[in-house]
Amino acid sequence: MSLRRRPVPLLAAIAVPLFTAVTIGVGALPAQAAATTYTALGDSYASGTGTREYYPDSGSCQRSRHAYPVLDAARLGATLTFPACSGATVAGVLNGQLGSLNAATSYVTVTAGGNDIGWSSVIVQCALPWPTNCWSQIDNAENQIRNTLPGRLDQLYSRIRTLAPNARVAVVGYPRLFNGEECNIIARISPGEQTELNATADLLATTIKARAAAHGFTFVDARGPFTGHAVCDDVEWLNGTSNPIGESYHPNTAGHVGYAGIVEKALRGSTARKH
Residues designated as active site: 44, 250
Query: How far lies 202's CA from each of 75, 111, 141, in Å?
Result: 29, 15, 12
CA atoms 139, 141, 142, 146: torsion sign: positive
Q: Which of 102, 55, 104, 103 is nearest to 82 (CA)?
A: 55
Q: What is the 3-state secondary structure (H, E, C) of 44-70?
A: HHHHCCCCCCCCHHHHHHCCCCCCHHH
8 Å CB contact between 92 and 8: yes
88/84 Cα distance (integer angstroms): 8
Who contacts 252 (Cβ-Cβ below 8 Å, separation ≥6)?
50, 51, 52, 236, 237, 238, 239
Q: Three-class SS of residue 123?
A: helix
| Region label for 95, one of left (φ > 0), alpha (ψ between -120 and 50) or beta (otherwise) | alpha
R_g of the chain computed on alpha carbons: 19
